[in-house]
Amino acid sequence: MRVGVYPGSFDPVTNGHIDIISRAARIVDKLIVAVALNAGKNPLFQLAERTAMVTEDVKLLADKGASIEIMSFNGLLIDFADQVGASVIIRGLRAVSDFEYEFQMAAMNARLNPKAETAFLMASDRNHFISSRFVKEIGALGGDISHFVSPNVAAKLRARFSDAGE
């Protein structure tokens, strides 16, 4: 059975992530969406909140393909991939600007654990411009984020920013 890991910060999960999840689930037997603690990135949402948002969005996927499990992890991705028996690490690629970072990460991970292969899925044209960072910025400034995230995530973002404004 081919197990794939789709890791990320998911701060918060966007429609772009969900698109990659649904497509990745069609090319592996089991997909583990791995939500990284990544405390160094100073996330807007706690690990448990980010994991819950991914879980809620994945529940809404009509065509799941393979079985999808949502987990969180702290530590090295390749150690996590080993623990869950994953042979492939899936990442989404949007613009050329993603390439250098992704290339470096894939190469570092390959050196650390050559058994886990990184595979890239190109973001769909509808989603290639969506990033969690801009979604947060637009949300913080009161813009409409409904095209980029699910209604659940949009509500969580609005609540977070209205709390911050109080």
What b/e sequence results for 51-78 when a residue is b if at least 16 CB atoms lie within 10 Å of its CB, and e otherwise?
Answer: bbbbebbbeeeeeebbebebebbeeebb
Residue 17 a catalytic site member: yes
Residue 156 a catalytic site member: no
Q: Please report whether residue 36 would count as binding ligand PNS according to CB under 6 A.
A: yes
CB of 102 vs ligand PNS, minimal distance in Å: 8
Q: How many residues bind ligand PNS (CB under 6 A)?
A: 10
Give me the residue label for tokens 């995230």.
149
Q: Are 41 and 79 in contact, with CB atoms under 8 Å apart?
A: no
Catalytic residue among 9, 23, 50, 132: 132
Q: Could you count the other beta carbons within 10 Å of the beta carbon of residue 157?
A: 22
Residue 128 a catalytic site member: no
CB of 104 vs ligand PNS, minimal distance in Å: 7
Distance CA 132, CA 11 (A): 6
Distance CA 29, CA 158 (A): 36
Catalytic residue among 26, 41, 59, 158: 41
Q: Which of 14, 15, 51, 109 binds ligand PNS (CB under 6 A)?
A: 109
Q: If you count them, how many residues does the chain have?
A: 166
Q: Please report whether residue 77 would count as binding ligand PNS according to CB under 6 A.
A: yes
Q: Please report whether residue 60 would count as binding ligand PNS according to CB under 6 A.
A: no
- As annotated, the active-site residues are 17, 41, 94, 132
Q: Which stretches of the chain bind ligand PNS, using CB under 6 A? A: 7-9, 36, 38, 76-77, 105, 108-109
